[in-house]
Structure 1
Amino acid sequence: MPPVKHYSSSEVNQYELSTRLLSLTENTSYTLTQINGQRIYRKATHAWTGPEPSRSCEVFIGRIPHDCFEDSLVPLFQQAGELFEFRLMINFSGWNRGYAFAMYTTEAEAGNAIRLFNNYMIRPSWQLGVCPSINNCRIFISRIPPTTPSAEIVRLLYALTDEVQEVRIRRAVASCAAIVEYRSHRGAAMARKALVAAAAAAWGCGARPAVDWSLPQSPQLLKQYREIGRWSPERGVELTRVPEDSPGASPCNASYTLEPWSQARRLRMIQEAQRNAAAVEWSNRMSSGLEYLSASMGSLSVGGLQERVWAPPPAAPRAPSGPPPCPPPGPPARPLVPTRDDFNPWTAPHPMYEFIHGKEAR
């Protein structure tokens, strides 16, 4: 594998980069042009005869470092086969947007590129992602004001975007959505960018329509959109409605499914809300348990605890001088033994004191 050139954000020289990019086209049959946020490295017209390769010959390249350009990527992907076109997405600052498309001359070469460069370590701890390219030409628009006539929706979409083929509309009691089909993926991408900025102003009335990619292949879901609209300068807006009792028609009660990343984002939001609710419930249980414990401790009798505190016994009266008095008749008195309540381990004699000292005396 050839070494991949690395430009840090503080060392990139645009003049040097332009020189490196121009060297790709010297003594080759390729041209390099930049248009609409993408730089296209493509075979020259005189170097290719016949139809262009099909969409199945194109691969999608993701997770590209933002300071990695064609002078590193094109030689790398040419090892899998002959490139017909390499498109790198560029933003306004000149850095790439992290993904590109490589079209080979045959399907076998495209499969070879996926096998060689999917999870390829282009830099330490930085792997590329390579997979077949999906030609998604549909845009999904939701939250359209339900009072907007279908003819007005079709007219606005044809006026705001280019390359529109047809508009499919689905209506419910309080909602309206549409799927717009374009001639190419590029047309759909440009239309999505334009609709995000202009759809809210176009519909007005405080509308906040949501614009996103739709699933590229969804024939069952498309049957839910029964109104099909087209526009032409000669005929204007033409609306046709698919009858509900047509073969294979499905009930119009399910919403259109967005891209998988949108589903994952919604799933993460639901899981986060569930975790927050569980944390609140746990804190409520802990606070109620502490309140019960403090109430139980407050009900204890402090006076009863003080009565059990040991106190030294009162001093015995001094014995009078003279012979001891005779003990009264009767059974011998039991020796005084400290009770449990008046026992003090710090002043009480050792239990074996008398035995030890009596033995020494003997």
Structure 2
Amino acid sequence: MPPVKHYSSSEVNQYELSSRLLSLTENNTSYTLTQINGQRIYRKAPHAWSGPEPSRNCEVFIGRIPHDCFEDTLVPLFRQAGELFEFRLMINFSGWNRGYAFAMYTTDAEASNAIRMFNNYMIRPSWQLGVCPSINNCRIFISRIPPTTPSAEIVRLLYALTDEVQEVRIRRSIASCAAIVEYKSHRGAAMARKALVAAAAAAWGCGARPAVDWSLPQSPQLLKQYREVGRWTPERGVELTRAPEEPSTTSPPPTAPSYTLEPWSQARRLRMIHEAQRSAAAAAEWSSRINTGMESLVSSMGSLGLGGARAAGVWGAPGATLSPPAPQPRDFNPWTARHPMQEFITPGKDSQ
């Protein structure tokens, strides 16, 4: 009996995994399985699909995948939501998956069905998948381009070094130059990013060290700063156009507000206003009760012959029209001063 080989936690049994993955294509010959650039792609074969690829809305992102879970488990699972056009699992150098994948269905409805079925799906005990719509970034941002490089040369180099370029937008200043490159697909942008990281510095030369990274979602106002738009075709070469300047308008600003509150924010704001009004009304009512009680106390003391004016000066309610108290000397000491009601106090035996 041959000895059993034990694989460490950082090593994948490639022979066993290959036999499991091979069964996917043997059982269904309408799909192909290839591995390239850190991802393994399970995709419809050319003879099994006619027409354009599904749109970006048909792709979902799958996260929180166990690192030892592969296509032989994931593909049959996600087929339950609809027909798969492509399934891409990200793989690292050790052979384990990187914890996420992309599944593209043939229709938008199937992608929505996959999100509904498999988001928070318990694939293992205490292990839930996360499934959401895929956001395909098709833009690459290149900064630190030598400012002396002509725009036509930048466009020509980007078309020569990468594929699926749709357009190049360039922004210039006195000492800097940057570009945003739009690609036809996310896959084309990902391949171009890897190629540009290695080739951009050598292509521009002169000690240039351009920085290449994914472009963040740009607002329309920010994109307008990239005024030069360049395209290249084999028939016409480089074509540069310049975005028109924004017309200066002297019309008064619109009367409509520049922001809107969400319904929950409006309700919260009204609730805070009502609570403040209720608090102010309660405080006013409490102050009125105190003033009424003090006035009745003063009148009662006056009816008992306790010196209405003097008692009002001591116990009068705030704001009442009373005679002002006698001015106190500068060295007034409340601990040794005579009590204002001393004449009405019966002296005790200790004071005799």
Q: Which bracket does the TM-score occupy, shorter chain normalised?
A: 0.5 to 0.7
For residues 238 and 96 of structure 1, do their structure 2 counterparts lie closer, same or farther at Cα, with a shift above 3 Å needed?
A: same
Paired AA for residue 21 in structure 2? L
1:274: which partner in 2? none
Per-residue deviation, 1:162: 1.5
Answering whether residue 192 of structure 2 is matched by residue 195 of structure 1, we say: no
Q: Which residue of 2 aligns with 1:257?
A: none
Aligned length: 242
When residues 11 and 194 of structure 1 are mapped into structure 2, their CA distance, relative to the original with a 3 A threshold, is closer
What SS class does the counterpart of residue 84 from structure 1 fall into?
Answer: strand
- Contact 1:86–1:100 (Cα < 8 Å) also in 2: yes
- Say if 1:51 and 1:160 are closer, same or farther in 2 by CA, change over 3 A: closer
Percent sequence identity over aligned pairs: 88
Task: Show the counterpart of 2:102.
Answer: 101
1:205-247 deviation per Cα after TM superposition (whole angstroms, max 9, x unaligned): 3332221112356433221111011223333322111121359
Q: Tell me which residue corresponds to 1:115.
A: 116
8 Å CA contact 1:30–1:41 kept in 2: the answer is no
- Amino acid in the other structure paired with 2:12: V
Whole-angstrom distance in 2 between the partners of 1:216 and 1:29: 39
Residue equivalent to 2:62 = 61
Change (3 A) 1:129 1:121: same
Matches within 5 A, 1:291-302: none
AA aligned to 1:147 is: T
1:179 is paired with a residue whose SS is strand
1:337-357 per-position Cα deviation (integer Å, ceiling 9, x unaligned):
xxxxxxxxxxxxxxxxxxxxx
Q: Give the structure 1 partner of residue 213 of structure 2.
A: 212
**Unaligned 5+ residue runs, structure 2?**
1-6, 250-352
- Structure 1 residues 49, 200: closer, same or farther in 2, change over 3 A? closer
Based on CA coordinates, which of the two structures has the bigger radius of gyration? 1
**Contact conserved, 2:12 with 2:95, CA < 8 A, in 1?**
no
Deviation of 1:130 (Å): 1.6
Aligned letter for 1:31?
Y
Deviation at 1:29, TM superposition (A): 4.7
Q: CA deviation at 1:8?
A: 6.7
**Once the two structures are superposed, what CA deviation does each residue of 1:129-174 show, in whole Å capped at 9, x if it has no partner?**
2211223211111122222221221122122212212111011232
Q: TM-score, normalised by structure 1?
A: 0.60
Pairwise mapping of residues 323-334 of structure 1 onto structure 2 (< 5 A)? none
Shift of 1:10: 5.3
Identify the residue that residue 184 of structure 2 maps to in structure 1.
183
Please report how far the alpha carbon of residue 180 of structure 1 lies from its aligned counterpart in structure 2 after TM superposition: 0.6
The aligned counterpart of 1:169 is: 170
Q: CA deviation at 1:92?
A: 4.4
Partner of 1:244: 245
Q: Specify every segment of 5 or more residues in structure 1 that has no aligned partner in the other structure, as ranges.
A: 1-6, 249-362
Work out the CA distance in 2 between the residues paired with 1:16 and 1:32. 19
Q: Which residue of 2 aligns with 1:263?
A: none
Alignment of 1:11-50 (within 5 A): 12-37=12-37, 38-48=39-49
Distance 2:11 2:92 in 1: 18
Question: Which digits, 9 at most, give the CA deviation of each residue in 1:96-124, with x for residues without a partner?
Answer: 33321111233222112212322334345
Whole-angstrom CA distance in 1 between matches of 2:212 and 2:199: 11
Q: Normalized against structure 2, the TM-score is what?
A: 0.61
Residues 47/161 of structure 1: CA separation in 2 closer, same or farther (3 Å cut): closer
Greater Cα shift, 221-230 or 128-137: 128-137
Q: Which residue of 1 aligns with 2:73?
A: 72
Distance 2:10 2:152 in 1: 53
Distance 1:16 1:197 in 2: 35
Deviation at 1:93, TM superposition (A): 4.1
| Distance change (3 Å), C-alpha of 1:146 and 1:89 | same
Specify the SS of the correspondent of 1:146: coil
Coordinate RMSD, CA, aligned: 2.7
Deviations for 1:261-299, whole angstroms, at most 9, x for unmatched residues?
xxxxxxxxxxxxxxxxxxxxxxxxxxxxxxxxxxxxxxx
- 1:85 partner amino acid: E
CA distance 1:240–1:32, shift in 2 (3 Å): same
Cα pair 1:9 1:67 within 8 Å, conserved: no
Alpha-carbon offset, residue 35 of structure 1: 4.3
- By how many angstroms is 1:126 displaced? 4.3
2:230 is aligned with 1:229: yes
**Is structure 2 residue 90 aligned with structure 1 residue 89?**
yes
1 CA distance for matches of 2:85 and 2:217? 24
Q: Is the 8 A contact 2:12 2:96 kept in 1?
A: no
Q: Which residue of 2 aligns with 1:346?
A: none
Q: Given that residues 63 and 129 in structure 1 are in contact (C-alpha distance below 8 angstroms), is that contact kept between their aligned partners in structure 2?
A: yes
Residue 169 to residue 123, structure 1, CA distance change in 2 (3 Å): same
